[in-house]
Copies of this chain bind each other. A is one copy, B any other.
C-alpha cells in the first residue's frame, strides 16, 4: 500500500486554505488524514474533502500531534506562533505567509525554479509571495538562457490576495456603485491600517504596509524574494504594486534587462517548453493573457513578449497567473509533492 500522510491545513476556511484543500484533492496528494485547522472563531465549521465533511479544529500547538505536513496560510502572526510548535511535533511546515521567507535557515521555494532547495529545510519551507512566484516562473527560463541583470515590474493585483473580506468588499462596493448607493470601505488597501479606500472602479497603488524607504512591503517582497529564489543578490529588481478591481488573477508588466540580446521568437519557444508556463502571445490576433482567462488555472501565462524599443538587451513581458493557485495553494502543494517524492 502506498504511503499516506497526515496533512494539516492551517487557515482551512480562508480563501487560500480552500484552494489548498481543492489542490490536495485534484492532484491526488496521498492524504491519509486531513486535519483542517483555523482560529477558535472558525472551529466547528466543516470543510469538504473527497466528498466528506471534515470538522475544522482550533489551531493549537497540540493540534499538530501526529501531523506529517502542515500547510500554513492564516497570517504571519499565526505562523510565527504555531509553525515552530508544529515542527517540534515532527511536522514539516510549508508556510504561505511572510513570517519566515527571508530567514536564512528557511528555503524559499518555487518548484520550477529552485525545487532542490526543499531538501535544505530545517522544518520550515516558505512559499513566496504570490506576485513573486509568477514572475520568477516566467523569468527562470529567460535567466537560464540569457542571464538576468535587472527587472522593473508594475503589478495589477486582484483583491483575493487580501482574502475573503477583500473579495466581499469588492463585490459589495461594486453592487453599491451600480445601484447608486453609498459605498463603504473597510478592508483595502490594508485591513490593519487606518485609512481604507474604495477599490471598485479604482486603482490603489498600495498592496501592503509601507517601508521606511518609500516602497511598500509588497514591493520589497518582490525585490528580496526574487534575489533569494534565484540565489543571486546581483539581480536588480524594482517594483510598483497596485491593487485593481479584479477578483482573481494577478497581472504584471515586466521589463527585464538581460546579459545577452534576446530574440522574442526564441523567448516564446523557450518559455513554451518550460514547465508550468503557457505562452499566449500574438497581438495581431489579439492573443494575450488576462486575469479572467487565467483564473482557476494552475499555470503562469506569458504574452506581449517584445524587445525594448531602445535597448537590444531589454525585453517586455505581460505575466498573468491565478494568485490563489500558482501564487499560493498550487505552489504549496507542489512543494509538498516534492517532499514526499523521496519517500516513493
Q: Is the CB of B309 within 8 A of A203?
A: no
In the assembled complex, the Cα of A189 lies from the Cα of B335 at a distance in Å of 38
By a CB distance below 8 angstroms, the chain B residues around A214 are 264, 283, 304-307
Question: What's the least CB distance linking A320 to chain B, in Å?
Answer: 8
Q: Is the CB of B253 within 8 A of A242?
A: yes
By a CB distance below 8 angstroms, the chain B residues around A152 are 152, 255
By a CB distance below 8 angstroms, the chain B residues around A285 are 195
Q: Is the CB of B205 within 8 A of A290?
A: yes
Q: Is the CB of B251 within 8 A of A238?
A: no
Question: What's the least CB distance linking A99 to chain B, in Å?
Answer: 23
> Any chain B CB within 8 A of the CB of A230?
no
By a CB distance below 8 angstroms, the chain B residues around A215 are 306, 309
Query: Whose C-beta in chain B lies nearest to the C-beta of A211?
Result: B283
Question: What's the least CB distance linking A20 to chain B, in Å?
Answer: 23
- Pick from B195, B237, B314: contact of A238, CB under 8 Å: B314
> Any chain B CB within 8 A of the CB of A146?
no
- Residue interface bits A205-249, CB-to-B below 8 A is 1, else 0: 110001001111000000100000000000011101010111100
- Pick from B203, B216, B286, B308: contact of A251, CB under 8 Å: B203
Taking A213-B306, A238-B308, A240-B253 as given, write out 18 further A-B residue pairs in contact, using a Cβ cutoff of 8 Å, ordered by the A residue number. A156-B244, A175-B178, A178-B178, A197-B286, A197-B290, A197-B292, A202-B290, A202-B292, A205-B251, A205-B318, A206-B286, A206-B288, A214-B264, A216-B283, A223-B309, A236-B310, A236-B311, A245-B245
